[in-house]
Structure 1
Amino acid sequence: MKVKEQLLQACYSYVNKRIASYKDEIETIKESIESNDKANDEGDDSGNGKLFNDLELNLQYLNDAKKMLDTLHVINPKTMNTNVVLGSLVKTTSNHFFIAISMGKIELDDSDYFSISLGSPIGQLLKNKVVGDVIVFNNNTFTITDIK
């Protein structure tokens, strides 16, 4: 399997684990709300306010994770581009970036890759750049040496 395919697979695994975790948490919260409702027939919603807030928060996290999954579905790891776009593997003089989702560091074959989104600050700097372009980020200067 090629590096881009392995990186994309790592991103899918990360997002799918997050989705499963949020779904589990949502079910747990719903069960807690139901058991609180049964225990408190006098109209006292002690604890339910926080549970509803937690439920809403986890529903938002789940929605965000599903958007990440939608982004991954758009990426074709076999596509090669001469400029940095979604799905590009960008090698620079200091780091390797996989333009996909904001996931962070992925260790693969004794190399470190950083999965970043195009919307991130570094992603915005890299967007549409070509080999030889120089980027300055956090007072660090680096040159794009390869794009796949």
Structure 2
Amino acid sequence: MNEFKSKVYQTALSQLKQKEALLSQERKNIIESILEEEKNSAGDKYETSRETITQDLNTIEKQIKQSKMDLDEIYRLQAIKDTPVSVQEGALIKLGADWFLLAISIGQVNVDDTKVFLMSKNSPLGELLIGKKKKEQVNFRGKLMSIEELV
């Protein structure tokens, strides 16, 4: 695997692990709040407060589940060692002056002072790029862009 591509994956994994740790801490805090509410509660105010906290916990649980799925997907794509002949999942693409990793949609990461955008194959640009080869062009939002690199 290309060294730069490897660094992109490592940066994405690090960012996802950090997010998962923050979500786990938030879940712990919410559970502690629930336990504290049970000690200090009485009446309707308690029920309303408890329902709000429970909704927050459910939201965090969904985010943790998504974070675990994102980590699994990055690990799966990172295991692909071959340089693709056309754009596919796991490909690192230089489109014009910008770099994109076709993986999961987590936004931008910075690697060696270079911005890399992680996007899903189901994103509008991802769908345009799938199957394209180096030096081919795509028209995205009225702008014609050429695939400069494919790693």
> Which of 80, 85, 91 is 2:94 aligned to?
91
Matched, 1:11 2:1: no
Residue 81 of structure 2: aligned partner: 78
Matched, 1:67 2:69: yes
Q: Alpha-carbon deviations, 1:27-55, whole Å to 9, x = none?
A: 11011011111212557424111101110
Distance in 1 separating the partners of 2:57 and 2:115: 36
Q: Alpha-carbon deviations, 1:61-82, whole Å to 9, x = none?
A: 1111111001011122632111
Q: 5+ residue gaps in structure 2?
A: none
The number of aligned residues is: 148
Q: Alpha-carbon deviations, 1:94-138, whole Å to 9, x = none?
A: 321112222222232343221212122211211121113211222
TM-score norm. by structure 1 comes to 0.90
Residue 115 of structure 1: aligned partner: 118
Matched, 1:45 2:53: no
Q: Sequence identity, in percent?
A: 25
Distance in 1 separating the partners of 2:113 and 2:32: 44
Distance in 2 separating the partners of 1:16 and 1:109: 20
Distance in 1 separating the partners of 2:113 and 2:17: 25
SS state at 1:99 partner: strand
SS state at 1:47 partner: helix
Residue 108 of structure 2: aligned partner: 105
Q: Compared with structure 1, are the counterparts of its residues 2 and 72 closer, same or farther at alpha carbon in structure 2 (3 Å cutoff)? A: same
Letter in 2 for 1:15: L
Provide the alpha-carbon RMSD of the alignment.
1.8
SS state at 2:139 partner: strand
Matched, 1:131 2:134: yes
TM-score norm. by structure 2 comes to 0.88
Q: 5+ residue gaps in structure 1?
A: none
8 Å CA contact retained: 2:11, 2:111: no
Moved over 4 A (4+): none
